Amino acid sequence: MYAYIFLNNDEKSNQLEEYVKRFDLRILKRDNRSDEYKNLKIALEPAVAFTLEKGNTFVYYGIPEGKENEAFKKIIYYIVTGTTNLIPNTKNCIANVNTQTNLKLFVTPECPYCKRMGELLGEFVVLNKNINLSIVNVFNFPEIIEKYDIEAVPTLIINEEYKLIGFHEESLLCMHILSSLNKLYE
């Protein structure tokens, strides 16, 4: 597993750098762009990126503050241990994601539903090599709200095509992902 942090030379990036100094990470500032920027398709800074052993990725854009801090740490725990708390039906459902799937979750720091949805999606990433997850803290990137027409959080965008607004329990969330993939690839 590899972990990267992508920084700009601003206050948000400095805060994130202080937060992640506890981890053994490779810190990349904008002035020393590398292949990692291109390979991981880093779109915003600051960002923390993990490449899992299976080759899929988890990227957090912004500063994991408030309840998002808890979710961020829990997702890292799932990644490091390779474990999840999902029920067997959800695990079976996630196993059916057989095409490259990019999930982009938009959150705010104090949203309890965002925290839980991020944790669930983090577990999905651990279970299936076809799933990549990006979590975007919209407080750190207000310009994203308009670009993706974010009306509420959490909002999940699947493969830049399908939008799911609000929190959904794990089985229903997996079924929405599979359903969106079927619609996208029919």
Q: Give tens-digit pLDDT for 19-63.
A: 666 555 566 666 556 777 778 888 898 998 888 888 899 999 999
Confidence of residue 121 (pLDDT cuts 50, 70, 90): very high
| Residue 138 predicted with pLDDT over 80 | yes
Tally of helices (H runs) and strands (E runs) in the chain: 7, 8
Confidence of residue 9 (pLDDT cuts 50, 70, 90): confident
Two tokens, residue 17 = 């750098």
Q: Is 3.40.30.80 the CATH classification of the domain at 2-184?
A: yes
Question: At 82, phi and psi to the nearest 5?
Answer: 70, 20
Task: Give the per-residue pLDDT at 26.
Answer: 64
Q: Write down the domain spans for the chain.
A: 2-184
Report percent pLDDT > 70 for the chain.
87
DSSP single-letter state for residue 8? -
Measured CA to CA, the distance from residue 119 to residue 145 in angstroms comes to: 22
Cβ-contact 79, 126 below 8 angstroms = yes
Residues contacting 66, CB < 8 A, separation 6+: 109, 110
3-state DSSP helix/strand/coil % of the chain, to nearest 5: 40, 25, 35
Total-model pTM:
0.85
More confident residue, 98 or 5: 98
| Residue 113 predicted with pLDDT over 90 | yes
Cβ-contact 71, 115 below 8 angstroms = yes
Nearest in space to 72 (alpha carbons), one of 12, 8, 136: 136
Measured CA to CA, the distance from residue 48 to residue 173 in angstroms comes to: 24
Task: Round the average pLDDT of the chain to a whole number and report it.
Answer: 88
